[in-house]
Amino acid sequence: MTELVLDWLPGYEGSAPVRIGNAAVRQLQLDVCGEVMDTLHQARRVGIEGDEFSWPLQQHLLEFLEGVWTQPDEGIWEVRGPRRHFTHSKVMARVAADRAVKDIETYGLLGDVDRWKRLRASIHEEVCGKGYDAERRSFVQYYGGEELDASLLMIPLVGFLPPDDERVRTTVEAIERELCRDGFVFRYQTSASGHVDGLPPGEGVFLACTFWLADTYWLLGHHDRARRLFERLLELCNDVGLLSEQYDPRTGRFLGNFPQAFSHVSLINTAFNLSADVGPAEHRKSEGEPGAPAGVGGTSP
């Protein structure tokens, strides 16, 4: 739907602007391609077969991505500022190519595996070269920027780099220093001088991102820290077990959309990660690694 601002409607407790529709319908979000490709790959891994349209759809998706991955986009947060070369978007573009290679090599699907391997390697090389700031020893929100972004926590979670890579460790430490409040995680820094999202400062911590931090702790072997953070998040649930999009640690109040599916999907993933021998984060990060969990195969550059 076309996005409209309802100036006459004050919003909850005077919050504004009140919008209907969604401008994101016209945005480019490269990360979605990776999420779709990984979802269908993980479905095959656990024995959920697609229909005759699934693999052709994935091939078309890869062909589209091949032509646009070098472009800037609005990214996972649907920013209202100018398009940028968001690091997370490129990471997920690499995930898309990687899962296509895995599906061909593991399940015998027909496709140009060498072509997708070249694409996978090209994206990986670019991200490591342009998305990492050697001086601050951290991946950054977008190429050429200095800001952090909680979506960088996905780098080990989707298998872009192994958890024990020094760049992963120092990026997590930077996020802990600069994006955490009382142990909870903001999406990114905001300020009165503006930000790439085109929104005013002052949002709360983002609950899905905090679950990602717990998942990352688990992969790094910090199991006690992961459990403690997960239990703190569970304590935020209301009387019927629901979570919002954001939370204000100062006032102890929910903020943003409520209830928020993104928060609950992340809760479920983290619960599996902390309670199963091989949870979703382990499966995603282990794609192609030697000794990967059963059902995960293929090779990775």
Domains identified in the chain, total number: 1
Residue 299 lies in a domain: no
Tens of pLDDT, residues 270-295 = 998 888 666 677 667 666 443 444 43
Q: Give the 3-state secondary structure of 39-87.
A: HHHHHHHCCCCCCCCHHHHHHHHHHHHHHHCCCCECCCCCCCCCCECEH
Measured CA angle at 211 (ends 206, 215), to 5 deg: 145
Residue 297 lies in a domain: no
pTM greater than the 0.85 cutoff: yes
Residue 293 lies in a domain: no
Residue 56 lies in a domain: yes
pLDDT of residue 300: 34
The token duo for 93 is 């573009």
CA distances from 53 to 37, 47, 49, 50, 213 (A): 14, 17, 11, 8, 36
Residue 298 lies in a domain: no
Residue 15 lies in a domain: yes
Tens of pLDDT, residues 148-202 = 999 999 999 999 999 999 999 999 999 999 999 888 999 988 654 456 665 656 6
Residue 208 sits in which domain range? 4-285
Residue 94 lies in a domain: yes
Tens of pLDDT, residues 228-239 = 999 999 999 999
Strand pairing category for 184-185 and 180-181? antiparallel
Tell me the mean pLDDT in the region 246-262: 87
pLDDT of residue 299: 31
Residue 295 lies in a domain: no
- Strand, helix or coil for residue 241: coil
**CATH number, domain containing residue 182:** 1.50.10.10
The token duo for 130 is 């342009």
Q: Identify how many contiguous H helices and E strands the chain contains and give both numbers.
A: 10, 9
